[in-house]
Structure 1
Amino acid sequence: CCMVIKDVSAATMYDVLHDSQYRKKWDPTVLESFDIARLTANADVGYYACESRRPPAAPPSPMPLPRPQIHPSCASLSSGPSRGIVDSRVMLQSQFPVGVVLLRGHHDDLLLSGLCPKPLKNRDVVTLRSWMVTDDEYLIVNYSVKHPKFPPRKDLVRAVSVITGYMLKVTGPSSCIFTYLSQADPKGSLPKWVVNKASQVVAPKVLKCAHKAGQNYPEWKEQNSPNRKPWLYPEQNDLPRMDPSELTIQRADSLENVDESSSRDPRENEVAEDSN
């Protein structure tokens, strides 16, 4: 999903996406968000938990699904040195069973805003994140990992980020193209209508919220450690070091599926009863 931003620079949007303290100001679903440890100068591991949000009214059943499309603004995500991080093809797949946008690449991150309707359980995720800055591109990508000190919690459903990324393409001193991509498995037992609805609204909502946050970030940052940006200046990073060998990739099929059938849309309950 892409957005053309005409009033915020790519550099500012990049800072917004990295700044975990500011995340708590603009992300309406965040419960907890913090960095755990650094792996290299441009890679770390972090934790994110999101609050459940009630979705829009359930759509009629069956809901028609659009055909997959290649977004014209996203036909090529990278060039030069950045090609090692993300592949050049992006496919918007509203009918993808466990995600929003499919990116074929090698790393990633996850934001579950609006994906968890009450009374479903809140979600959390542990991700390995890496980033890169080139002359005209800013990239952040990550994927879910297992951390020995942050196992799944009983009060939350551990979701899985298969691949997620943000790319900011410089188009001017105060403008950019913002691309957001995510393939994620929310786990649990979300009703199909919730996943389908989320696939249509989550990505645009992420872009809209982040854009608004970018408009307000310079003023906020002036009052909150204006010179501290460890994502740009590694010498400022005071996170404890961690050996990457202590982490393993989090596979969705290795996590327990939490029963959330009580949260199904009434239409689904009727179908289930009719089939018995």
Structure 2
Amino acid sequence: MPIGVGEVRIPDDEDFREFIKLAEDQEGWSQQYAKSGGTTVWTREGSSSAIKMFKVYRYFPDINAEVMYDVLHDGDYRPLWDKAMIEGKEVCLLNPNNDIGYYALKCPSPIKNRDFVLQRTWLETSTEYVIFNHSIFHKDLPPKKGYVRAESQVTGYLIRPKPKGCEMTYVSQSDPKGSLPKWLVNKVTQIIAPKIMQRVYKACLKYPSWKAKNNPNHKPWLYPEQNTLPRLKLDDILQRADYSTESLDESELQEDEFKVADLDLED
């Protein structure tokens, strides 16, 4: 597993190798969903957590890897395609390839909304693009009323250029906190995860024309000199024990109460 929850540091080569291995390795993974010529979803028991990991793979023959990387980074564009996002913002920088941010997620009714405080890491090489995150604890981003503060053990993307198009693998192991019903895991892996891939695909198709009209040369994830975020103050980093989080039991919710349509993820 790459860098751990609550740990704030610059990831090293080994952290990137571990994330790439998660995305590429098939050992221990169980296939849950496969669509011919489309999306495949696997799950795996976590090595250090009771929360299962899942990953989603899809090949996109008509999307360039560079475009997909930009779409996943561009905070100005994200509200236009990420219909599950309530709020998202970058707060500060560790270095040109690491920032700390906040993400609030709309959960399908009647499940309570979740939010995250994340250290995000990214890297571009000649053969791949990597973005991954994990949860940290920041003084200026305490738990908020109306949300359950969830934790990402590791969540990220591996994008590889292909002779035609690109392929992407999305990996996630997140603890939603509280107690959620077991049937919800099946919803996430079999229904929601493939639909998220479709949402990203549609976003990539529309991005070049949108970006051409919206600050087309502004890409601070590629050009660090454009980034105006303040640097992280180490005194602002807290330990888990310094956080007071809400305890919530949603385990008795029934599947017929769950409204996938609330996520606006239709193909």
Give me the TM-score of the superposition, normalised by structure 2.
0.70
**SS of alignment partner, residue 162 of structure 2:** strand
Indicate yes or no: 2:215 matched with 1:242: no
Counterpart among 16, 29, 39 of residue 94 in structure 2: 39
CA RMSD of aligned residues (A): 2.2
**Shift of the alpha carbon at 1:199?**
2.6
Cα distance change on mapping 1:259 and 1:148 into 2, 3 Å: same
CA distance in 1 between counterparts of 2:115 and 2:231 reads: 23
CA distance in 2 between counterparts of 1:11 and 1:216 reads: 14
Indicate yes or no: 2:144 matched with 1:153: yes
Confirm or deny: 8 A CA contact 2:155 2:172 kept in the other structure: yes
User: 2:130 maps to what in 1?
Assistant: 139
CA distance in 2 between counterparts of 1:176 and 1:216 reads: 16
**Shift of the alpha carbon at 1:244?**
4.7
Confirm or deny: 8 A CA contact 1:2 1:178 kept in the other structure: yes
Cα distance change on mapping 1:257 and 1:213 into 2, 3 Å: same
**Shift of the alpha carbon at 1:248?**
4.9
User: 1:222 maps to what in 2?
Assistant: 212
- 1:36-69: CA deviation from partner (whole Å, max 9, x where unpaired): 111101000111111122xxxxxxxxxxxxxxxx
Give, as a single letter, the amino acid of the residue that structure 2 aligns with 1:227: N
Give, as a single letter, the amino acid of the residue that structure 2 aligns with 1:11: E
Unaligned 5+ residue runs, structure 2? Answer: 1-55, 258-267
Give me the TM-score of the superposition, normalised by structure 1.
0.68
Indicate yes or no: 2:84 matched with 1:29: yes
**Shift of the alpha carbon at 1:266?**
7.6
User: 2:61 maps to what in 1?
Assistant: 6
**SS of alignment partner, residue 208 of structure 1:** helix
Cα distance change on mapping 1:33 and 1:165 into 2, 3 Å: same
CA distance in 2 between counterparts of 1:257 and 1:196 reads: 23
Unaligned 5+ residue runs, structure 1? Answer: 54-117, 268-276
Confirm or deny: 8 A CA contact 2:143 2:244 kept in the other structure: no
CA distance in 1 between counterparts of 2:190 and 2:130 reads: 24
User: 1:212 maps to what in 2?
Assistant: 202
CA distance in 2 between counterparts of 1:244 and 1:263 reads: 41
Look at both structures and tell me which one has the larger radius of gyration over its CA atoms. Answer: 1
User: 2:179 maps to what in 1?
Assistant: 189
Aligned length: 201
**SS of alignment partner, residue 20 of structure 1:** coil
**Shift of the alpha carbon at 1:166?**
0.2
**Shift of the alpha carbon at 1:250?**
5.4
CA distance in 2 between counterparts of 1:254 and 1:208 reads: 36
Give, as a single letter, the amino acid of the residue that structure 2 aligns with 1:204: P
CA distance in 2 between counterparts of 1:176 and 1:146 reads: 34
Give, as a single letter, the amino acid of the residue that structure 2 aligns with 1:52: C
- Could you tell which deviates more after superposition, 132-141 or 198-207? 198-207
State the identity as a percent.
Answer: 46
- 1:102-151: CA deviation from partner (whole Å, max 9, x where unpaired): xxxxxxxxxxxxxxxx1121111110001000002000011001010111
**SS of alignment partner, residue 152 of structure 1:** coil
User: 2:162 maps to what in 1?
Assistant: 171
**Shift of the alpha carbon at 1:3?**
0.6
